[in-house]
């Protein structure tokens, strides 16, 4: 039984330490938060209002504008793909704290400049991880296409032999590594290509390989 491109992609992500749990085994994160909620939480973060208080209109308007500025900044850095009123709940705390940092001086407070980069990094990581399965699938497909272009395979992407599955994972992991800030392991590339070369050097029976799909 052969592995699918998506399964090999998940293995590549695990090898990189990017996604330890496969996407299919993780609970779906579908809840979102509006910009108004983020703005209100930022005012609470700064101590401008208590959790059970309602902000006055001018403070609420300022906070909402700052929440929008935070979102535009993240969008401008190509870090997020969602709308300002559909912020994933998983990064709502980061958004609220960023908004609080952006407007701290407006209320006579100070914010640690280092926290902005840290919080933006967390949002970027979430966005990257959420797209990781698709990126990994594309990486495995890219590995296969490159091997096919060089005439090194006698199988399709739908029936990759189990014997070379690990080699595909090594090559895909190295292709993905720069995206996740992980060093490329040149020895893995050499090992993978050696394994593939050894496999294709084996004599074939001449019979057509039949893939089984479940």
Q: pLDDT band at residue 207, thresholds of 50, 70 and 90?
A: low
Q: pLDDT band at residue 202, thresholds of 50, 70 and 90?
A: confident
Q: What pLDDT was estimated at residue 127?
A: 94
Six-digit token string for 139: 């990486």
Whole-model pTM: value is 0.79
Residue 31 pLDDT > 50: yes
Residue 201 pLDDT > 90: no
Q: What pLDDT was estimated at residue 210?
A: 54
Q: What pLDDT was estimated at residue 203?
A: 67
Q: What are the tens digits of pLDDT across the range 99-150?
A: 999 999 999 998 888 999 999 999 999 999 999 999 999 999 999 999 999 9
Average per-residue pLDDT for the chain: 91
């Amino acid at each position: 039984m052969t592995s699918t491109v998506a399964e090999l992609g998940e293995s590549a992500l695990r090898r990189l330490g990017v996604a330890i749990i496969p996407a299919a085994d993780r609970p779906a994160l579908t809840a979102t938060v509006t910009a108004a909620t983020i703005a209100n939480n930022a005012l609470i973060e700064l101590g401008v209002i208590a959790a059970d208080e309602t902000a006055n209109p001018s403070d609420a308007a300022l906070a909402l504008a700052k929440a929008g500025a935070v979102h535009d900044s993240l969008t401008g850095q190509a870090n997020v793909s969602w709308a300002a009123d559909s912020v994933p709940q998983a990064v709502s705390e980061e958004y609220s704290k960023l908004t609080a940092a952006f407007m701290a001086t407006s209320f006579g407070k100070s914010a640690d400049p280092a926290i902005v980069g840290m919080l933006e990094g967390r949002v970027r990581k979430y966005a990257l991880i959420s797209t990781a399965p698709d990126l990994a699938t594309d990486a495995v497909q890219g590995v296969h296409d490159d091997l096919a272009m060089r005439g090194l395979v006698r199988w399709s992407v739908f029936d990759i032999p189990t014997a070379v599955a690990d080699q595909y994972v090594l090559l895909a992991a190295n292709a993905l590594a720069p995206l996740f800030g992980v060093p490329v392991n040149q020895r893995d590339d050499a090992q993978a290509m050696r394994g593939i070369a050894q496999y294709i050097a084996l004599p074939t029976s001449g019979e057509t390989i039949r893939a089984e799909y479940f």
